[in-house]
Every structure is written in C-alpha cells, then in structure tokens.
C-alpha cells in the first residue's frame, strides 16, 4: 500500500473529466481531483497478478500495449524482462484482426535483418542500400516488440484504454483477454480484468 501511495497510483483525473462507470472505484475527491480507492486497487492488483501467472504457466503469451510517451519505456523494459511481447509505438490496425498480414511484415523484417547482418547491404549500390536500411528502420520501429508473435496472443495488458481504443476493439472482437490499468476517466466495462489506478504518471 505504501508503494502505491508513493507512486501516486491513487491520483485520478479532474472530477469534470471522470467516467461515471468508475464511481465504485473512487474513494473521494481532493482539490478537484478524484482519488482512487487503493484498497480496491491492491486487491485487484493481486488478483490480476495471479491470473497472469496462471495464463503464462499454461503457455499463453501476453502482449503489453502502451504507446503514449510516459508508457513507452516501461512497457518495453517490463515486457522484455518477462519475455513477453510489446507495442510501444503506434498501434497498427489489424495487429490482431489481420494477423497473417502483420506476420508477413514481421517475416520480411527478419529477412532484412539477416541480410544486413550478413553484409548484403554493403555490396549494394549506395542508393539501394540506403533505401533498404530506411525500410528496415521503419519495420523495426513498429515490429521489434512483436517479432516473436507467431499467433494472436492469449491476453493483452494495456496502459490507457482510451488512447488504445483500436487495440481494445480488436481484442474484444478476437476474444483476447484484456487486462488494463483503468483511470478515473475510462470505462472499466471495456476490460475483462482491471486495476483501478493512475495511467499517466511514469512511477505509477
């Protein structure tokens, strides 16, 4: 509980920006800011943790999603730490609903990486080599975090469900379990497993 307080997990948004469906997770308001009930947050955090452990123990892959600036670094580092997938740049429509096309792009990226590592780019005419490097850089920007994704993941973990609305819609359509940190301005009904909390602060 102390760690949650120190990280500012309890700070929601301005009261005028709230989503009424979050009412049961709001403890109070202070200086025009909603304060999230950390007793509930802690209990739901522990529940989500165990559900994640069980899912991964059964061989399920989790895709971590957070594309806003504050989330990008932590999404990448935590996903890499636990050997999972991540998207921390722009969500590409069809990542789950049109997975085979996405997988084709990933395969192409891997082929270009192999050619680069074998020195193929260096023997090409300069203009052509530069063009391929630029193409590879763009592919790596968007697909590095999902390079090992060989099928639609069993679950996603999302920071800021309002911003990641396309991702959420794809997951719901595909029957993918949705875990998320849900702030006071969001609709928890869009998520299967919620952790009420501040989705803006890096420490949170």
pLDDT on residue 129: 87
pLDDT on residue 34: 81
**CATH code (residue 36):** 3.40.50.10490
The DSSP output letter for 30 is E
In the predicted structure, residue 140 carries a pLDDT above the cut 90:
yes
pLDDT band, residue 78 (cuts 50/70/90) = very high
Cα separation, 168 vs 158, in Å, equals: 8
Which of 204, 200, 202 has the alpha carbon at shortest distance from 17?
A: 200
Range of the domain at 30: 7-96+152-196
Is residue 178 domain-resident? yes
CB–CB of 13/31 below 8 Å?
Answer: no
What is the CB neighbour count within 10 angstroms for residue 94?
13
pLDDT band, residue 202 (cuts 50/70/90) = low
pLDDT band, residue 38 (cuts 50/70/90) = confident
What average pLDDT does this structure show over 85-96? 97
pLDDT on residue 203: 65
Say whether both 20 and 63 belong to one domain.
yes
Q: What percentage of the chain reaches a pLDDT higher than 70?
A: 90
Say whether both 158 and 189 belong to one domain.
yes
Say whether both 82 and 112 belong to one domain.
no
Say whether both 107 and 130 belong to one domain.
yes
**Considering its fold, how many domains does the chain have in total?**
2
pLDDT on residue 2: 61
pLDDT on residue 64: 98
Q: How far is CA 28 from its chain centroid?
A: 28
pLDDT on residue 27: 76
Say whether both 25 and 82 belong to one domain.
yes
Cα separation, 25 vs 22, in Å, equals: 6
**DSSP states of 85-148 as a string?**
EEE-SPPPTTTTTTHHHHHHHHHHHHHHHHHHHTTGGGGS-HHHHHHHHHHHHHHHHHHGGGTT
Cα separation, 115 vs 108, in Å, equals: 11
Say whether both 92 and 106 belong to one domain.
no
Q: What are 95-133's pLDDT values in tens digits?
A: 999 999 999 999 999 999 999 999 988 888 989 989 999
What average pLDDT does this structure show over 155-171? 96
């Amino acid at each position: 509980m102390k760690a949650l307080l120190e990280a500012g997990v309890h700070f929601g948004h301005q009261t005028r920006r709230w989503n009424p469906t979050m009412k049961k997770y709001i403890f109070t308001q202070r200086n025009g800011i909603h304060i999230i009930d950390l007793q509930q947050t802690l209990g739901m955090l522990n529940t989500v943790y165990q559900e994640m452990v069980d899912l991964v123990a059964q061989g399920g892959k989790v895709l971590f999603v957070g594309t806003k600036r504050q989330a990008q670094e932590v999404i990448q580092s935590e996903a890499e730490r636990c050997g999972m997938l991540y998207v921390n740049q722009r969500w590409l429509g069809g990542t789950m609903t049109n997975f085979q096309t996405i997988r084709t792009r990933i395969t192409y990226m891997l082929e270009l990486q192999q050619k680069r590592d074998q020195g193929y780019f260096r023997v090409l005419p300069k203009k052509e080599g530069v063009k391929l490097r630029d193409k590879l850089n763009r592919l790596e920007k968007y697909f590095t975090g999902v390079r090992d994704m060989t099928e639609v993941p069993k679950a996603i973990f999302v920071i800021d469900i309002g911003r990641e609305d396309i991702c959420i819609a794809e997951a719901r359509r595909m029957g993918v379990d949705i875990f998320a940190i849900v702030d006071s301005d969001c609709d928890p009904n869009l998520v299967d497993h919620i952790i009420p909390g501040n989705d803006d602060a890096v420490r949170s």
